[in-house]
């Protein structure tokens, strides 16, 4: 099990429109993740996974408590979602181009050979 969810009684004590970020923090503790684009949103995430031998871990249970704040820093709403409401995100794999000298395997081997044999130093002194 990873993460932890706040005590449901503490969550019930928080009233939308009245509770500030500081009050939510003292009641629920630090969030697992924070989204600060637009209105700030805090996520409290708990997940249970199962691993069998060398296979990919399988998520058995997931609970997410979503705490949203308005633009004045007051609690706007609290939503609880489970594994069924989640969605799978695809990872974007990109390669960042680098600039500079591209060496082949042969160039790398010869470069290392020259570096350790000292031939480069001898030729540069003449």
What string of pLDDT tens digits covers the 126 residues of the chain? 677 788 889 999 999 988 999 999 999 999 988 887 777 899 998 888 888 888 888 888 888 899 999 988 899 999 988 877 766 667 777 777 777 777 788 887 887 777 776 655 544 554
Kindly write down the DSSP assignment for every residue of 72-108, as one continuous string.
TSBEEEEEEEEGGG--PPPPP-------S----HHHH
- Radius of gyration (C-alpha) of the chain in whole angstroms: 27
How big is the CA angle at 75 (ends 71 and 80), to the nearest 5 degrees? 120
In a domain, 45, yes or no: yes
In a domain, 121, yes or no: no
- Give how many domains the chain has, as a whole number: 1
User: Around Cβ 82, how many Cβ atoms within 10 Å?
Assistant: 10
In a domain, 13, yes or no: yes
In a domain, 18, yes or no: yes
Give the predicted TM-score (pTM) of the model: 0.62
CATH number at residue 40: 3.30.1450
In a domain, 36, yes or no: yes
In a domain, 32, yes or no: yes
In a domain, 79, yes or no: yes
Residue 13: domain span? 2-85
Q: Is residue 24 exposed (0-12), middle (13-18) or buried (19+ Cβ within 10 Å)?
A: buried
In a domain, 49, yes or no: yes
């Amino acid at each position: 099990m990873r993460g932890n969810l706040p005590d449901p009684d503490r969550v019930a004590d928080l009233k939308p429109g009245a509770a500030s970020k500081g009050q939510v923090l003292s009641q629920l503790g630090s969030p697992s993740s924070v989204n600060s684009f637009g209105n700030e949103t805090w996520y409290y995430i708990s997940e249970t996974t199962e691993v069998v031998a060398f296979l990919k871990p399988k998520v058995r249970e997931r609970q997410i408590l979503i705490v949203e704040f308005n633009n004045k820093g007051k609690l706007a709403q609290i939503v609880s979602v489970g594994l069924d409401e989640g969605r799978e995100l695809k990872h974007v794999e990109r390669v960042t181009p680098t600039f500079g000298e591209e060496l082949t395997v042969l160039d790398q081997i010869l470069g290392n050979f020259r570096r350790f044999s000292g031939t480069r130093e001898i030729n540069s002194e003449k």
